[in-house]
């Protein structure tokens, strides 16, 4: 674990982040749930580009690269999400898997990282040493065959990440997501760190940065605002305090963001938030301050 934020500063960081969330331009003033699903990692464009979130991501990146030897010619910061999991929420369990970046160079080493912004330990359930095994041609969310689960469970460890610390782990590491309810509101900042010998970026984010759009995650996946089940089963079916997805969207997002969606099941048009949101520019929302050239450079091999 790498110390990043001193414990005395964590409450200040948490307060500032909560104020940032309230100020997101995509949401109505009374919005209380910024994304659907128990994992609770945000997918709106402002959650990637707000200056304070950029500052925290860069702090994590700079802390990480200054804490371990650079084994390759270049380094690169990768966009990732902010997690805000409310007390009592729990992620959908995800069995043993790896999150592997597509089109990576064979010599690349890519780390998944997060900063624990809680006053309590956070945890990762993983199989130490599994990053040394061959991953084959798998990319993205790469599931491990069920026949191997029992062996992996026996070899796994629950790794504690202290408050204000960064955990870095090779993305080849086999890990799982546990359905453990949050005891308190949970916050963390994810980011990726790539070491490479090539000048080619994994993702060319020029347009994403210019228009302040939603970037691909290090695994290559796009961060959704809700699950496919919300789009199909729960369009008009109650969950929580909402009468379905359409009701959630009308109570959460500004009207100009909603789009018309034709349900194939009942041929009805519903007004909902896009599952993958457009950029702030494309939605006609104000952009945050421009990225400085030296800030943009962090997202490319340098």
Q: Does residue 154 register a pLDDT over 90?
A: no
Question: DSSP assignment of the chain, as one string?
Answer: -EE-S-HHHHHHHHHHHHHHHHT-TTB-TT---SS-STT-B--STHHHH-HHHHHHHHHHHHHHHTTS---SSEEEEE---EEEE-TT--PPPEEEEEEE-TT--TT-EEEEEEEE-SSS-EEEEE-TTGGGS--TT--EEEEPPGGGHHHHHHH-EEEEE-TTEEEEEETTS-EEE--PPPSS-EEEEEEEEEEES-S--SS--HHHHHHT-PPPPTTSPPPPSS-HHHHHTTSSS-BTTBSSHHHHHHHHB-GGG-EEEE-TTT--EEEE--SS---TTTTTPPP-SPPPHHHHHTTS--
Q: Which residue has the higher pLDDT, 262 or 151?
A: 262
Q: pLDDT band at residue 19, thresholds of 50, 70 and 90?
A: very high
As a whole number, the mean pLDDT across the chain is 90
pLDDT for res 181: 85
Q: Is the pTM of this model over 0.75?
A: yes
Tell me the percentage of the chain whose pLDDT exceeds 90: 66
- pLDDT tens-digit map of 111-141: 999 999 999 999 988 876 667 566 655 666 6
For the chain, which residues make up each domain, given as ranges? 2-222, 226-275
Q: Does residue 202 register a pLDDT over 80?
A: yes
User: Which CATH architecture does the domain made up of 2-222 adopt?
Assistant: Sandwich (2.60)
């Amino acid at each position: 674990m790498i110390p990043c934020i001193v414990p005395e500063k964590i409450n200040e960081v948490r307060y500032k982040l909560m104020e940032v969330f309230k100020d997101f331009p995509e949401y109505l003033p009374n919005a209380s749930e910024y994304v659907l699903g128990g994992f609770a990692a945000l997918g709106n464009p402002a959650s990637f580009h707000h200056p304070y979130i950029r500052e925290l991501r860069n702090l994590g990146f700079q802390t990480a690269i200054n804490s371990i030897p650079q084994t390759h010619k270049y380094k690169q910061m990768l966009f990732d999400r902010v997690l805000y999991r409310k007390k009592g929420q729990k992620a959908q369990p995800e069995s043993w898997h790896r999150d592997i970046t597509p089109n990576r160079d064979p010599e690349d080493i890519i780390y998944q990282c997060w900063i624990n912004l809680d006053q309590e330990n956070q945890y990762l359930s993983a199989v130490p040493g599994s990053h040394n095994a061959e991953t084959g041609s798998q990319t993205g969310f790469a599931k491990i065959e069920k026949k191997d689960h029992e062996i992996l469970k026996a070899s796994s460890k629950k790794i504690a990440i202290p408050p204000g610390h960064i955990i870095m782990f090779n993305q080849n590491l086999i890990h799982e997501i546990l359905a453990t309810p949050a005891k308190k509101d949970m916050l963390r900042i994810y980011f990726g760190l790539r070491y490479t010998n090539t000048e080619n970026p994994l993702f060319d984010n020029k347009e994403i940065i210019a228009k302040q759009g939603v970037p691909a995650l290090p695994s290559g996946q796009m961060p959704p605002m809700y699950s496919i089940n919300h789009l199909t089963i729960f369009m008009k079916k109650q969950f929580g305090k909402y009468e379905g997805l359409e009701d959630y969207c009308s109570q959460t997002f500004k009207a100009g963001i909603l789009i018309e969606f034709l349900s194939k099941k009942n041929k009805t048009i519903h007004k909902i938030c896009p599952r993958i949101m457009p950029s702030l520019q494309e939605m006609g929302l104000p952009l945050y301050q421009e990225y400085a050239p030296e800030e943009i450079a962090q997202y490319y091999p340098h």
